[in-house]
Amino acid sequence: MSAPRVQFQRLRPDAVVPRYMTAGAAGLDLVAAVDAPVIFAPGDRRAVGTGLAVAIPAGFEGQVRPRSGLARKLGVTVVNAPGTIDSDYRGEIVVLLINLGREPVALEPGERVAQLVIAPVAQAEIVEVEALDVTERGDGGFGSTGR
């Protein structure tokens, strides 16, 4: 499969078009496009804009994922990880972050706040049936196969 062509549009002059930080990186770094530091008290959730819109080709999605350094060092992560950007969305990429740490955190303008992974998706054919096939597991849910 060839690499998809993903287009980005700057919605504000200070927006940073994402790039892969290493040759083997799976994610493109998303940067905060904010006018001033965004302060997160412990437990705070905030939407942080990137100042970018994106055109992802049909058959692909954008997965917004946490940056491991922010999560490990500061306790800041993506609330709805991974967040999904559908191929037909053309609004601003906004990252939903939460501070799970014990101290306030200030995210600065231009700081890398998340990563964007472009991944293939399939739309399933939906079929309503009267009954589902029987399996050994059956309706065993959370923890049914062990801790």
74 phi and psi angles, rounded to 5 deg:
-120, -15
pTM of the model: 0.89
Over residues 9-20, the pLDDT tens digits come to: 999 999 999 999
In the chain, what are the domains?
A: 7-120 (2.70.40.10)
In the DSSP assignment, the letter for residue 24 is: T
Question: What are 76's two structure tokens?
Answer: 């800041």
Question: What are 109's two structure tokens?
Answer: 């303008």
**Percentage of the chain exceeding pLDDT 90:** 89
Q: For residue 92, give the nearest of 50, 60, 122 by alpha carbon.
A: 50
> What single string gives the DSSP state of each residue in 38-61?
EEE-TT-EEEEEEEEEEEPPTTEE
Over residues 62-95, the pLDDT tens digits come to: 999 999 999 999 999 999 999 999 999 999 999 9
pLDDT of 144 above 80: no
Distances (CA, A) of 75 to 56, 65, 69, 125: 30, 14, 9, 39
